[in-house]
Amino acid sequence: MTVKAERKSAAGWRLENSYARLPEVLHARAAPVPVARPEMVLFNEKLAVELGLDPGALAGESGAEIFAGNRLPDGAKPIAQAYAGHQFGHFTNLGDGRAVLLGEQITPQGARLDIQLKGSGRTPYSRRGDGRAALGPMLREYIVSEAMHALGIPTTRSLAVVTTGQEIAREEMLPGAVLTRVAASHIRVGTFEYANATGDGAALEALTRYTLQRHYAELCGADNAALALFEGVLERQARLIAQWVCVGFVHGVMNTDNMALSGETIDYGPCAFIDIHDPATVFSSIDRNGRYAYGNQPDIGHWNLARLAEALLPLIDKDKDKAVARAEGALGKFPARFRAHYTAGLRAKLGLLTAEDGDFALAQEFLDGMKTAEADFTLSFAALTGAVESGRLSGPLFSGGAPLRTWHQRWRARLEREQKVPSEVVAAMRRANPVLIPRNYRVEEALAAAVAGDLSVLHRLLDALRAPFAETPANQPYRAAPPPTGQLYRTFCGT
Ligand code: AMP
Ligand code: MG
């Protein structure tokens, strides 16, 4: 091992800055702007250890200074990344307006993970924004991203939230905060749109090579790097969105700048989980036409990938027509790839370990029945696991005049054709059907208490969300469907 690779600070920082070496149009120097009184609110000790950091050295005041941006960790070279994006269908130039990338931490396992401060002050890409973030939305990202991780869904992670001791002006004055986000990278579909829009072919090519190497090393030998990258991203997004749909997750703002090439879920804004199963579910207050509704997510994923393909066209083939034909050929595979991942996910949720042609239709009938009965998505699937366990299927969804009273006989017949012992089926169903999701009312309750200075509610929620597949007495209060309020749940972008 070289001396350089051994260099590691006392707190365990081992930062590299490979993105900062990409062509200059792709980023700008941008140091975090110091804040008045950094105070640690949440620190993810387990994640710190995974990163090779010393929680003891970072949990206290010196950690707060670093995660607020008042002091740079060893090896940091802060930059803001340039990107563009289609926001609700419209192209805009963006860039990190309130975030800086400190560098890439090389973990003890050899992974390279971005360490980004979000809410760390103005950058060259801030436009009219103040570069800051409010405490509520940063805690929300922490809760939901960590919940997604526990659910086994690829996602950026949250290492810390610190308050700044400064208020920020939104519709009202709010406490300011900085989130430390950990990501496979922050390269977005919008990063490629930006690189292509600059007309700087060398930058686009360098970005393509870099992204392929960093996230799809296995495809590096391909003769058409841009097409290989595109196909790799398509496959991961098809899988990711299928995973979202299988747990009832609504991202809420699937703009192309919020879609990561690594295949991780990124940018938790107005996201939320469905309670009642309805494909038309929209939570975001700004999504007036339901563009990013629960059931629209695969179509939007496909649409976003078309924007990525467009950005890559100059590299796919010098001949424009040939490039378009090849890109369209690849893009056209998305619906089938999504359907394959989604069907596999649904099969697992129904306890089916083998594949039969009618499985998707069987699952679809279950989903339709749930919609008609306005049944809770998570609890209904959990009830199926219980049914295999107890041999009985009860509850309003399955008895009396319920829409699924005949469905369950066909499901049982299908399960019997598998010839598996119930214990095996139950174990597999448990892994596919979380009993616990971050219920919107629980998240709101925890945020309200936290912003008012009481973190205990938030800590209890985070503890419960760490183990979402097992029913325990402790997580019982978090599993219940929300009490009816008669009101539609709404989320706000909360920048
Ligand atoms: P988001 O809604 O967080 O995905 O952000 C969309 C774009 O707006 C990104 O380019 C952000 O950097 C930028 N942005 C959001 N909030 C602010 C802010 N308070 N100050 C500066 N830029 C911001
Ligand atoms: Mg964003």
- Which CA distances in Å does 363 have to 162, 237, 411, 434? 44, 22, 9, 17
The C-alpha atoms of residue 129 and residue 34 are separated, in whole angstroms, by 17
Does position 57 have pLDDT exceeding 80, yes or no? Answer: yes
Residue 7's pLDDT band (cuts 50, 70, 90): low
Counting from 1 in the atom list of ligand 1, the atom nearest the Cα of 267 is 4
Residue range 25-42, pLDDT digits in tens:
999 999 999 999 999 999
Counted residue by residue, the chain has a size of: 495
* Closest alpha carbon to 77 in 43, 103, 39: 103
Residue 4 has pLDDT above 60, yes or no: no
Q: What is the pLDDT of residues 260-279, one digit of tens each?
A: 999 999 999 999 999 999 99
Between the CA of 344 and the centroid of ligand 1 the distance, in Å, is 36
pLDDT at 488: 78
Residues with CB under 5 A from ligand 2 (ion): 258, 267
* Average pLDDT estimate for 201-205: 98
pLDDT at 3: 43
Identify which of 88, 90, 98 to mutate to test ligand 1's pocket (most ligand atoms within 8 A of the CB).
Answer: 98
Residues paired with residue 79 on neighbouring β-strands, in sequence order: 29, 101
| Surface-to-core class of residue 253, CB atoms within 10 Å of its CB (0-12 exposed, 13-18 middle, 19+ buried) | buried
How far apart, in Å, are the Cα atoms of 292 and each of 253, 283, 309? 6, 9, 21
Mean pLDDT of 342-355: 97
Return the ∠ at Cα 302 (arms to 190 and 318), rounded to 5°.
Answer: 65
* Rounded distance between C-alpha atoms, residue 70 and residue 294, angstroms: 39
Q: What is the pLDDT of residue 8?
A: 65
pLDDT band (50, 70, 90) for residue 392: confident
pLDDT greater at residue 483 or residue 90: 90
Whether 285 has a pLDDT exceeding 70, the answer reads yes
| Rounded Cα distance, 186 and 43, in Å | 21
Question: Could you tell me which of 489, 276, 482 has the C-alpha nearest to residue 371?
Answer: 276
How many angstroms from the chain centroid is the CA of residue 287?
A: 18
pLDDT at 381 over 50: yes
What pLDDT shows up at residue 5?
45
Q: Is the pLDDT of residue 389 over 50?
A: yes
> Hey, whose CA ends up nearest to atom 23 of ligand 1?
97
DSSP 333: T
Q: How many CB atoms lie within 10 A of CB 336?
A: 10
Closest residue by CA, ligand 1 atom 15: 495
Query: Please, which pLDDT band fits residue 2 given cuts at 50, 70 and 90?
Result: very low
| Average pLDDT along the chain | 95
pLDDT band at 495 (very low <50, low <70, confident <90, very high): low
- Sign, CA dihedral 411-246-46-7, equals positive
Q: How distant, in Å, are the alpha carbons of 185, 191, 212, 233 from that of 219?
A: 18, 20, 7, 11
Compute the distance between CA of residue 60 and CA of residue 440 in angstroms, rounded to an integer. 31
What sign for the dihedral angle of Cα 390, 392, 397, 403? Answer: positive
Residue nearest ligand 1's atom 12 by CA: 97
For residue 259, give every residue at least 6 positions away whose Cβ sits within 8 Å of its Cβ, in sequence order, or none: 188, 189, 190, 237, 266, 301, 304
Nearest ligand (C-alpha, residue 188): 2
CB 414 within 8 A of CB 362: yes
379 versus 399: which is more confidently predicted?
379
| Res 6 pLDDT > 60 | no
Q: Which two tokens stand for residue 373?
A: 């009965």
Question: 257 catalytic, yes or no?
Answer: yes
DSSP E strand boundaries for 396-472: none
Which residue in 96, 114, 257, 287 is the catalytic one?
257
Query: What integer is the mean pLDDT of 321-342?
Result: 98
Lowest mean pLDDT among 32-46, 199-213, 383-397: 383-397
Distance CA 40, CA 180 (A): 11
Token pair in block for residue 429:
């169903």
* CA distances in angstroms from 492 to 143, 253, 271, 489, listed in the order given: 16, 11, 9, 10
Q: Which ligand is nearest to the CA of 494?
A: 1
Among protein residues, the one with the nearest Cα to ligand 1's atom 6 is 94
Q: What is the pLDDT of residue 140?
A: 98
Whose CA is closest to 125, among 50, 25, 213, 206? 25
Judge whether 297 and 241 are in contact, CB under 8 Å. Answer: yes
Ligand nearest, relative to CA of residue 120: 1
Confidence of residue 393 (pLDDT cuts 50, 70, 90): confident
Q: What is the pLDDT of residues 456-465, one digit of tens each?
A: 999 999 999 9
Q: What percent of the residues of the chain are helix, what percent strand, and what percent coil, each to the nearest 5?
A: 45, 15, 40
Percent of the chain residues past pLDDT 70, beyond the cut:
97
CA 314 to chain centre: 29
Taking 90 as the threshold, does the pLDDT of residue 391 lie above it?
Answer: no
Centroid of ligand 2 to alpha carbon of 260 (angstroms): 10
Burial class from Cβ neighbours inside 10 Å (0-12, 13-18, 19+) for residue 50 reads middle
pLDDT of residue 269: 93
Q: How far is CA 424 from CA 64, 99, 362, 389, 431, in A?
A: 47, 47, 21, 10, 11
Distance 79 CA to ligand 2 centre (A): 16
Q: Which residues, in sequence order, are CB contacts of 3 under 8 Å at separation 6+? A: none
For the segment 368-388, the average pLDDT, to the nearest whole number, is: 92
Which residues have C-beta atoms less than 6 Å from ligand 1? 94-98, 126, 129-132, 258, 267, 269, 493, 495
Atom 22 of ligand 1 has which residue's CA nearest to it? 97
Lowest mean pLDDT among 14-18, 259-263, 421-425: 421-425
- The CA–CA distances, whole Å, from 185 to 90, 265, 285, 433 equal 24, 11, 28, 29
Which of 360, 334, 335 has the alpha carbon at shortest distance from 346? 360
Residue 15, C-beta contacts closer than 8 angstroms, at least 6 positions apart: 73, 74, 75, 76, 77, 102, 103, 104, 105, 106, 115
Per-residue pLDDT at 487: 76
